[in-house]
Every structure is written in C-alpha cells, then in structure tokens.
C-alpha cells in the first residue's frame, strides 16, 4: 500500500468519524444560525459610527462649534482641529489622520475626503452652508418689504457643500468591511476548534494504544498526516455549509448587493482556511505529542491558543481601524498572522499580487518546516 493511499485511508476514517458525530451536526447548525442572525442584524452590529476628526481651514474654522453640535444631533461624534496649511491637511486626509478637511467661506464650504462623503455628514455640512446663505441674504436686504421669497428659498435650496475626493469612492466599502470581519471570525473559530481536535486525537491515540496497534501498516507520519487531513476536511465541510448559508441569507435580505464581493471573499477564505489549518494543526499536533498525561492537554494547548487569539485580535482590530496601514500590510505577510489577516485584506479590496504570492509562499514554507518537526516528534513519542 502506497504512502498516499495510506494517508487517504486514515483521512477518510477521521472524516467519516467526525461527520457522524452529534457535535459536528449541532455545531454546524448552530454556527449557521448564528451567522444568519449576525447577517440579519449586520447594520446594528457593524455600525461604523465612531469619533471622526475633521480639519477646518481658514474661514471654515468659524463653524467649528456649530458643526460639532449639528453632527451630535444626528448621532455623530465629531472632533474638529484647526489646519493652517492646506497641503498638510490634504496629506493628513490621505494617511487617515483626518476623516475630512473643510475649507472655504461658511456659505461655500469645500470638503476634502479620501474616497467618499457619507450622506449624514454631507447633510450636516449642507445644512451649515444653507444657514449661512440664508443669513447672508437676509442681512443684505435693505428693504424687507421687497423680499423675494421664492428667490430666497431657491438660493438656499441650491446651496450645498462642494465635495472633492482623493480617490474614487468604493460603493461596496461597507459590504467588504462586514464580509472581511466575518471571514476572519470564521477562520479563527475553525483553526481553534479543529486544531484542538488534532491535539486531542493525537493524545488519545498515544495513550489508547491505537498508534502502536496500527504501527505495522501505518507509519507515524502517515497516521499524523491522515488525521490532520481528515479533520481539516471536516472543518472545510462545516465552513462550506456555514458560509453558504450566510451568503444566501445576506443576498436574500439585500444585506449584500454585490455577489462578486462575497463570493470572492468566500473563495479566498476557503484557500486560507486550508493553509491556516495546516499551519496551526501541525503546531497543535506537536504540542499534543509532548503531553505526558491526557489531563494536561488543555493546559499544554494554552500557549498555542493564546497566539491564535492574539493573531485574531490583531487581525480584527487592524482590519476594522487601519486596513491599508503599513502595520496591517506587514503582518498580513508574516505567518502565523497571514492566514487571518490576508484573507481579510483580500475581502476589503485589491491587494498587490506580489503581496498575496509572498504571503502564500511564506505560509507554505512555514507549514513544510512545522510538518517535519511534528512528524519527528510524533515518531519519537511513539518509539519511546
């Protein structure tokens, strides 16, 4: 029997055993329901209202207090800062230090944003401009009895803020952001759950005598490879089911209007699940073979789960707050963070091909090293 066939048999045994368990069925159904519920409440959970910093230049500084108050009336937390140099303000908008830069006379405001101005803030600024136009026209009246009401109302209605952008707005930005965070969360749960199952299975086989029983026909490396492959496929099945349910619910409820955005993110999520699972599963397996008692499994796995949690927390925070920042880019290229951060970046938009390739190559290289180490430790543990 060839090594590949042996690994395949072990993998099929692990996969069949896992798919038949009640915990798998219950976990899959529960995860799908949770994701569906998340999608239905997405607008509330992923409310991206946060404290916004708006720069004011020149005469626009006069509307600072009014801007803060009007924004508060619509539920926006706005902080204003004075910007003396327009070039500096433009640079601060480009690198994200300012959410917007407002300049010009109060009755003819111009706002500079990175890619687009949301409707609420646009409404606030339009309201300020119209108030200033109305005050200016009323102040210019010499004879109130000759007031042209229709003309005055027309001038006020036509007044609006001028919006300039540094780049073309992405109409699917909010969708991409929500999908990216969902993908990262699902990957984290998959790595944690099925990586732990690999470690627990390794320990159970060692102390249950299963590995020694199979020794004459299945070598340690084949046994470990089959176990990792089988559990990884079980996790892939669960991810496919949960992801498909979430995608269908999102499209049916119009939470997502762009099928391409969601499908592309889902496909990349599957690719990175396979790579990330292999990476973390080999680490979990290496920890499992070093455990001297079954009771010590959870304690031994704590350092690995902490690393995974830190990777998830970093990925979630960076993708939420600074998805295009230098730190996000660098960490997305470095295993063990890349299996969580890179698929999130891909869901958010275009990533340079060289960065995707570099992260893939680096992850595969680390997996190759970890597989050799885990196999050696597993063989040594069984022969001692």
Domain presence at residue 84: yes
State the pLDDT confidence band at 218, using cuts at 50, 70 and 90.
low
**Which of 148, 165, 182 is the last residue in one of the domains?**
165
The domain that holds 61 is classified in CATH as 3.40.190
Same domain flag for 138 and 281: no
Distance CA 147, CA 130 (A): 18
Domain match, 267 and 249 both: yes
Shared-domain flag, residues 147 and 100: yes
Higher pLDDT pick, 89 / 14: 89
pLDDT at 364: 93
377 — pLDDT class (breaks 50, 70, 90) = confident
Task: Read off the DSSP letter of residue 293.
Answer: S
**151 and 131 assigned to the same domain:** yes
Nearest 5°: CA angle at 10, between 6 and 13? Answer: 140
Q: Under DSSP, is residue 193 helix (H, G, I), strand (E, B) or coil?
A: helix
Instruction: Tell me, yes or no, whether 300 and 239 share the same domain.
Output: yes
Range of the domain at 56: 52-165
317 & 258 share domain:
yes
User: What are the DSSP calls for 163-180, one per residue?
Assistant: EEESS---TTHHHHHHHH
Question: Does a cis peptide bond (omega within 30 degrees of 0) precede residue 336?
Answer: yes
Alpha-carbon torsion 373, 378, 381, 384, what sign?
Answer: negative
| For residues 132-149, average pLDDT | 66
372 within some domain: yes
**pLDDT > 70 in the chain, percent:** 72
Domain-located, residue 47: no
Q: What are 54's strand-pairing partners?
A: 80, 100
Q: What is the pLDDT of residues 35-52, one digit of tens each?
A: 566 555 544 444 444 568
Tens digit of pLDDT for each residue in 318-352? 887 777 778 888 889 998 889 999 998 998 876 88
Domain boundary among 165, 188, 203: 165
Domain-terminating residue out of 109, 134, 165: 165
Residues 278, 367: Cα–Cα separation, whole Å = 7
Question: 360 pLDDT band (50/70/90 cuts)?
Answer: very high
Residues 212, 304 within the same domain: yes
232 and 305 share one domain: yes
Residue 33 lies in a domain: yes
CA distance 73 to 355: 43
The total number of structural domains in the chain stands at 2
The reported pLDDT for the residue numbered 45 is 40
Confidence at residue 272, expressed as pLDDT on a 0 to 100 scale: 93
Number of residues that this document lists for the chain: 384
3-class DSSP state of 110: strand
Mean pLDDT of 275-292: 84
Phi-psi region of 6 (alpha: psi -120 to 50; beta: other; left: phi over 0): alpha
User: In the beta sheet, which residues pair with residue 52?
Assistant: 78
Judgement on whether residues 258 and 314 belong to the same structural domain of the protein: yes
Residues 106 and 201 in one domain: no
Domain assignment of residue 67, yes or no: yes
CA distance 280 to 187: 11
* Nearest alpha carbon to residue 246 among 274, 232, 266: 266
Considering the domain architecture, whether residues 200 and 334 belong to the same structural domain is answered as yes
210 lies in a domain?
Answer: yes
DSSP states of 211-245: HHHHTTTS-HHHHHHHHHHHHHHHHHHHHHHHHHH
**Same domain, yes or no: 126 and 190:** no
Instruction: Return d(Cα 338, Cα 188) in angstroms, integer.
Output: 12
251 vs 210: which has the higher pLDDT: 251
With a cut of 50, say whether residue 298 has pLDDT above it. yes
Look at 1-5, 15-19, 49-53, 86-90 and tell me which has the smallest mean pLDDT. Answer: 1-5
In a domain, 339, yes or no: yes
Query: Does pLDDT of 116 surpass 80?
Result: no
Q: Calculate the average pLDDT of the chain.
A: 78
362 falls in which pLDDT band (50, 70, 90)? very high
Is the residue at 45 inside a domain?
no
């Amino acid at each position: 029997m060839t090594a590949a066939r042996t690994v395949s048999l072990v993998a099929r045994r692990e996969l069949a055993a896992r798919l038949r368990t009640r915990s798998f069925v219950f976990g899959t159904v529960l995860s799908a329901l949770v994701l569906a519920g998340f999608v239905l409440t997405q607008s509330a959970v992923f409310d991206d209202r946060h404290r916004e910093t708006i720069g004011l230049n020149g005469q626009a500084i006069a509307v600072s207090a009014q801007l803060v108050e009007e924004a508060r009336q619509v539920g926006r937390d706005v902080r204003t800062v004075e910007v003396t140099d327009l070039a500096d303000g433009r640079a601060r908008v480009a690198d994200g230090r300012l959410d917007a830069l407002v300049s010009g006379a109060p009755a003819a405001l111009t706002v500079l944003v990175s890619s687009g101005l949301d409707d609420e803030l646009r409404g606030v600024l339009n309201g300020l401009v119209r108030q200033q136009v109305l005050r200016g026209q009323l102040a210019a009246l010499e004879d109130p009895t000759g007031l042209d009401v229709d003309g005055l109302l027309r001038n006020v209605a036509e007044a609006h803020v001028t919006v300039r952008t540094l780049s073309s707005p992405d109409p699917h930005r909010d969708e991409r952001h929500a999908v990216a965070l969902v993908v990262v969360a699902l990957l984290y749960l998959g790595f944690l759950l099925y990586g732990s199952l690999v470690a627990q299975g390794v320990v159970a086989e060692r102390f249950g005598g299963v590995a020694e029983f199979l020794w004459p026909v299945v070598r340690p490396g084949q046994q470990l490879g089959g176990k990792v492959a089988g559990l990884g496929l079980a996790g892939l099945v669960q991810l496919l089911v949960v992801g498909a349910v979430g995608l269908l619910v999102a499209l049916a409820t119009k939470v997502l209007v762009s099928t391409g955005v969601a499908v592309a993110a889902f496909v990349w999520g599957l690719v990175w699940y396979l790579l990330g699972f292999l990476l973390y599963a080999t680490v979990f397996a290496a920890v499992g073979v070093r455990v001297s008692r079954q009771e010590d499994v959870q304690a031994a796995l704590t350092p690995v789960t902490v690393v995974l949690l830190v990777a998830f927390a970093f990925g979630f925070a960076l993708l939420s707050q600074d998805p295009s920042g230098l730190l996000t880019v660098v960490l997305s290229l470095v295993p063990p963070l890349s299996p969580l951060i890179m698929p999130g970046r891909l869901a958010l938009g275009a990533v340079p091909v060289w960065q995707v390739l570099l992260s893939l190559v680096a992850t595969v290289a680390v997996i190759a090293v970890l597989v050799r180490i885990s196999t050696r430790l597993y063989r040594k543990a069984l022969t001692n």
